[in-house]
Structure 1
Amino acid sequence: MFKIKKLPLSAKLPMIMVALTATFLVTVASLISSLAEKSIRKNIYSAHEIEAKAGAQALEFLISSAHSNLASQASQPTVFRAVSNFSRVIGMIEEADPIAYLKRVYGSENPNPVDQRAQLVDPGDGSYYSQSHNSYHPTFQRTVELNGYEDLYLFNMEGLLIYSVKKLDDYANNFASGELAETGLGQLFAEALAAEPGHVVHSDFALYGPAGDLPSAFLATPVLDKRQKTVGVIAVRLGSAGVVQALTKNLTDHEHQNIYLVSADGLARSPSAQGDSFGVMDALPDVPQIQAARNGETGRFDGVPAMAGGSATALVIPLGLPGFTWSLVLETDEAAAFAELNQIRLLAMAVIGGSVLIAIVVSLIAARRVTKPILALREATNALAEDDYDTDITGKSRSDELGDLARSLDSFRHKLKQADEAAVREVEAARQTAAVVEETSRALSQLQAGNLACDIQAPFAESYETLRKNFNQSLVNLRNSMGEVISASEHVGKFSQEQSSSADEMAHRTESQASTLEQTASALRELTSNIGTTAEQASQMDRAMSRTRSGAEGSTKVVTAAVSAMDQIQETSREISKIINMIDDIAFQTNLLALNAGVEAARAGQSGAGFAVVASEVRALALRTSTAAGQIQELTSASETHVANGVEMVGQAGDALSGIITQVSEVSSLVSEIANGVRKQSEGLEEINGSMETLDGVTQQNAAMAEEASASSQLLQQEATSLSGIVSRFDLGQGNLSEGPVDEQTTGWTANPTEAGDTTDWDEPLSA
């Protein structure tokens, strides 16, 4: 089995270069082709969209122009006068059937062909209708020609078509009833009559029988007089030819493009612009672009069946025309649209093939130029591996990476030679280093034993001399520092003793102060308790006085209520006296009546004897009533007198209670002031007591801190003594704390190399 790993570099390198080049070329070409395809498709789609929108705008302009022109025509006095005159002069035709006369003169007897009947302006019959026709027909004919209408119609209020430009079979017929009422124009006439002034109504394209079943769309609006009253209807007919012309005038490739209109019911509302694939009102097949048009959706479709056959790219744009639910469909033959794209693809494939062939040749040549110097470098590397430093290295003059590799290999050869020479020097350096380490170790052992005067006097080799000087200077600094520590420990011992004495004295004074403050605080607490008791008793007395005042005030209310009740009793007694007087008057009148009745009974003789007895009894009863009323009157008068005395006495009691209440209020105010004063004194003493307790606590803390400071001073004195003992173990070399250079010191420990059997010559320089 073939394995690429076993191939030599001279074979692998061309293969890799060809593969990379081919991959790069294919990738770049594919990317460029893809970008070009996207750009071309975008440009093609943009061009189609511009053409479709241009057609839509032309159609919108056609419809909007028809709208505005028709509304303008309806508002002009000429149209109003034409409708009025035509309606009036039809009745002035001196014929048995004026309608049949008009159809004969302008229709069947018209000297022009059917499609040129509009050329007849005046038939020369001398009728008033022909005179009016001669006046208005040229104006309406120019309107039709300038706006691209198929025909123009004038109706009276009864639905009679009183004028048309083309004079087809619909001329002089009634559109309010009969068969023509069911046509698109007849239905539009009924809508226009009910429309608002200036409003234009529409009907979509449909087959119109009077025009030879040509597909027609209609627009109509009411005609108004000077009083804005509807007097008729003006209408125009639009043909599919004008729509196709508006849609196709902006197309750039009529041979491969088809543009048409589709309504929401899926019917074609304009004929095919490419051949005779379909006509107006034909049902279109259920393909994606027709489905989108039916749903009123905007969309673009590639590779869909075209109406004229073949495959096409289609663009669907819904139109917002008032009164019409149309969508515009633009189909472009896919082969013609993307012909340029196919050419680019073929060109890209040819470029890739040629580039791959060129890459193969270039790769073979380049591989040979690369592999030859690599083989030479391999031979030189093998010689160096066998310690052959005299072999010749070629290619050092090259300026590429292989030249860099050759120069690096030559430099590596020189470094190998230097490495062998350096190995010898390193052995000698190791020997000198061992001697320095041994001498330094001996000095450190003396230092560990506490000897701070173990300076190294014998000089080292030049490369290690700095180490010896730094060691000796460190010993000088250490001796000086230890001397300062000894001096400082002595001072600390003396100062700590003084501080301990001061701390003891302060502790005694603080304890005395704390005792005095404690006695003062106890006395203040007792005084505060007594004053609090007094304040509580004053508060109780204040509450008792308040209750007394409340009771007195309640008694005043009772007295006031009693006075009011006495007044009511007195008033009631007066009312009773009045009633009793009335009863007395009634008894007196009854007595007089009984007396008169007795006199009349006496006059009557024997027949009035019984009545006389009754009158006598009534009189006796009246006398008793009068007597009783007098007695009640006396009792009532006595009661009024007693009630008046009671009211007076109750009033005096109320005045006395009011005085008592006033005095009780004054006493209560004084007691309240006393209670408030005592309460404030109690609060002030409580604050003083709290402050004393706080001061007592602080004093206790001060005493504790003084004792702690005394204990700390004693501990500090002990530590100073211990520190003096520790530093006394160090040997400072006869107390010499000089800070001068080491070489100037003649005292101290001197290292003698010969004592340890070391024969190293320190003055001999070390070999690098």
Structure 2
Amino acid sequence: MITGFREFQANPSAEENVRKGLLSYYGTTLDTEDDDQQEIRNKSEGFVNELQGPGLFLHDLYVRQNTNETDTKKLLDDAGDGSSYSAGHMELHPVMRSIKERLRLYDILLVDAETRNVVYSTNKGLDFGADFTSGLLQKSGPADAVDTLIDSSSVEGFTCVDYMPYGPAGNSVLSLATLVQVEDEVAGVLLFLVSFEQLDQTISSNGVSSGNVSYEVYGDSWTRGSEGRSTKLRPHLFVSDESQEKFTTFTKSKSYSLGSDEESRGLLCASAKVSVCPQATDSDIVWMLVATTPETEVMASAFSVKVFGQTVFGITAVAILLSAFILARLLTKRHAEQLRLAEMVTNTSVQLVQADENLHVVYSNPATEQALKMHPQIGGEGVGGTLAELFGQVPEDFEFMKDSESLPQAIQIHCGTEELELHVSGISGRHGEFLGPMVTWSIVTEKARAAERERELSSQVMASKESLEKSQRVLQQGVDSLSGLFEAASDGDLTKEVSLEGSEQLAALGRNARDMLKNLREVISKIAAAAEQHGEGSRMIADSAASLSEGAQNQAASIEQIGSSMDELATSIVDVSGNAANCQKEANKAVNLAQAGSQAVRDAVDSMKAIHSSSEQIRDIITIISDITSQTNLLALNAAIEAARAGEHGLGFAVVAEEVRKLANRTSEATADITQLINESSARIQKGASLSEIVGGSLESIVTAADTTANAVGEIALSSESQARNAAEVKRAISSVSQTIESNAAASEELAASSEELGAQAQGLWELVRQFRL
């Protein structure tokens, strides 16, 4: 596949169109409501722009042109383009996909050792076809693993890089890498990426985080906690001062320490170092596992987590080595490569045994042989025998290993003086057939002894529990006695006594209860005497209040009659006042009208005088016009004479002179008529002015009389208003007295009612006190 990637025919002139197509695919096809797809969409532009050559074209071929849904792109085995790369992909991809799903990995990558290009990806994510030397992938855990393995002098084994953020995954991954050789030359690096999912499922499962256990796992630069929450909601917390301080503290602390929680319950804090990849060629990864739980629960939880760290990842490491072996076989097809990978598996430090489908041992690695020599009491012979004989067990106990559906599985067995822990996984052939089980095992005698110590501690806790139950029974007896005493008291019986036996605290409680009943009897006796006196006093108050209420009601009736009379008087005064005010208004109107009439007459006289003056001026003007007319007539006559002298040439001028003479005659006649009319008007105006002066004098007398009348009516109105105000004051005073008397009457009635109610309460109190037997 590496050779097929390098030799893939990429058309440089088509790169721009292919890149635009990929950008459009990531920008429009992905579901924006899916958080994972939205994250891929946000990061896609940077990764697509960095793709070059074969990586760009193969990414487009296996992603954009892949007709499967976004989450199922990995189902495509062959793109159908006829290239050598696709031929190799069709052969390799089903195997890698099966390994990924069986080991629950995030992804499996194959990286070209020369160019650092990702030539293969199981998931077909954003990193497929990308370059680990690019800016987006250069500073990541997988890139560090590739660099470390290629730069090392050793071509054997593998390297491991702890969880680090990895952009294409949108999360952090643990990176395990091993070299791939072709004809003794390093061709590439096989990368296995492990997400947090497997760790989260382990520390959150009921089998590990049970009861009240609180879990934390610390790495060098990250921390995880079970917290009982869904793995999807758990935040990915990376290094902080607090987590780093805890990591250092637990690293230096003892394995077990006792403490207490808020309720003062004993807690056991268990911390353990776990070597995740002890087989790595460069450096091991150490995790600190911390469990805080009630003493009876912590050991099982810590044991399970430690088993997880030492075995699950150990099995994963072995599976990775086996997968590397399978991949190399598919790539090279050479027997020498198979021998090399078999030697790699043989030299692993994990104790490993492989059997066929009938459970006959076909292989045991040197680590197993060495362990059997050091512990001869474990079992019998190795290769050639059965697994049951090897571990000294009856064959029926291992029958489940023949069923691939029941694997993987972990069990514990007892061999002589040692306790063994076996992890059994199924091995399948190329076509999925079951070849037999593979068993990795370890001696866990110390763990078993720790479990025994835990059981002894549990026995001690049970003894303490029995002592506590005895104390609880004595306490319950005392509580029952006090309960009976208080129940009788609640029914009114205060004659009972109580005596508690047991601890000093119970005896003191009994004495306090007796003293309480004694004081209660004394208080109730005093209440009864006070209630009797209270009732007698309330009856006396009620009689006095009734007499006071009757007198107040009589006074209120008398005041009400006086108030009615004052209402009638006030109404009459208001009527008189109103009539007087109306008269004054009418008189004022008459005065105003008379004054207006007098003023109008004076204005008329003045107007007539002005008209007479104007008539005199007009007469003068008409006289002037008459003179002008006479002169015009004379001039016309002279013009006619001159025209006659001129003969024929003066005919036109004679006509004009005639017309002017006629106009002068008409003007003279009109002037005479106007003069006559002005004379007649002037006489009439003079007569009207004399009459207007006579009317003006009469109106002046009327104005004086009307003004006198208005003043008299105004004085009457003022007197009426004053009487109305006085009557209103008297009415308000009577109303105030009436309200006061009514208030007194109401207060007397309320006092009487309160006295009766007080008497009833006193009687009720006496009835309640009578219920007690003293």
Name the TM tier (shorter chain). Answer: 0.3 to 0.5
The structure that is helix-richer by fraction is 1
Greater RCO (CA < 8 Å, at least 6 residues apart): 1
In our comparison, the structure showing a higher alpha carbon Rg is 1
Normalized against structure 2, the TM-score is what?
0.35
